[in-house]
Structures are given as structure tokens and as C-alpha cells.
Amino acid sequence: MVYENCRIYGPYLQSDGRYFIQIIFPDGRRKSTAYARYLVEIDQNRYLEGSETVHHIDRNKTNDVLDNLKIVDRIKHVMLDHKRIRDQIFICQVCKKHFILTGSQIGKLINNRKRKNNLLKRGPFCSRKCRGYASHYPDKYETLRVEAEYFYLENN
Ligand SMILES: [Zn+2]
């Protein structure tokens, strides 16, 4: 049986909004794992592979009931839920300061460029102020190439 003679603490609500538990094995080893994963492992009576992850069908990560849980391949799962764009650092062409665009800002910027094909919008710039300034001198500033870099948030 899985987790035989283990002591289980929790579930506790994690800061990312998921429940996890702490497991202490008879030999003293400790492991913390998502409560959802634990429930599925108990139900299936096997330990899930590293390539397997547990998906909340209704997308509510606190809804840890078996009917709402499904084993999916980790790669597929990240496609479903956890694909994110990395933050990137740029140098403002106006003030020369470094600034960060968050992943979601980068996603929006790329979409805007695609949608409007608006390469005349120079930048990106660090602020409205610098964008405003640059708009008066369109020939002086470039449209920097911005490409999304993706990463995946790990589940469990
Ligand atoms: Zn600036």
C-alpha cells in the first residue's frame, strides 16, 4: 500500500493557493506533496511518476475531491495551465535606464504588434513619459524586437 505506516500532517493551504501535506515515512524521510496528488496516489494505490501530474478539472486548485482530479502528463498539463512568459529587462532608448517588462506585459505587447501590425509604435520604453517624449521624435527611436520566452510553472 502506498504511504504505508507514514505519518501525514495537513492538509495546509500553501501560499500559491493549493493544499499540501507533509509526509513522514517510517524511516524518518520527509516529503511534502500536493494534497491532490496524495489523494490520487491513495486512490490508485501507486506512486505517480515524475512525468505525471494532477490536474484540477474545474481549475479550482483548492477543490481537492477525486471527481475533480485527473492524472495528466506533465508536459500536457503545463500546456493546459501553466505556460508563462518570462519577465525581461530592456534598456529605455530615451532615458537609458533598465526596466523590466513582466511576462504579461510582453504578451500584450506582442499581441498588440501582431494585431495592429503597428511597428511604428517605437519602444518599448520605461514609462509613459519616455514613450510620450519618443513619440515627438519617431525617427530617432527604434522598435525593439520583443520575443516571448516561455517557461512552465511546476505543479505539485
Ligand atoms: Zn525611459
CA of 131 relative to ligand 1 center, distance in Å: 8
Q: Report d(CA 12, CA 22) in Å as an integer.
A: 9
Measured in Å, residue 108 CA sits from the centre of ligand 1 at 19
| Residue 89 Cα to ligand 1 middle (Å) | 13
What pLDDT score was predicted for residue 156? 45
Specify the pLDDT at position 153. Answer: 65
Write out pLDDT tens, residues 101-141: 998 899 888 888 887 766 557 899 999 999 999 989 988 99
What pLDDT is stored for residue 78 in this prediction? Answer: 65
26 Cα to the center of ligand 1, angstroms: 59
The mean pLDDT value for 35-40 works out to 96
- 7-77 — its CATH code? 3.90.75.20
Mean pLDDT of all residues belonging to the chain:
87
CA atoms within 13 A on the CB side of 81: 18
Name the least confident of 35-44, 66-75, 76-85.
Answer: 76-85
Pick from 57-61, 130-134, 146-150 the range whose average pLDDT is largest. Answer: 130-134
Which residues have C-beta within 8 Å of that of residue 87, sequence separation ≥ 6?
Answer: 100, 101, 102, 103, 106
Per-residue model confidence (pLDDT) at position 90: 92
CA-to-CA distance for 56 and 39, rounded, in angstroms? 12
How far apart are the C-alpha atoms of 145 and 110, rounded to whole Å? 10
| Residue 122 Cα to ligand 1 middle (Å) | 12
CATH code 3.90.75.20 region(s) in the chain: 7-77
pLDDT of residue 117: 62
Distance 55 CA to ligand 1 centre (A): 42
Task: pLDDT band for 91, please (50, 70, 90 cuts).
Answer: very high
Distance 99 CA to ligand 1 centre (A): 8
74 vs 31: which has the higher pLDDT: 31
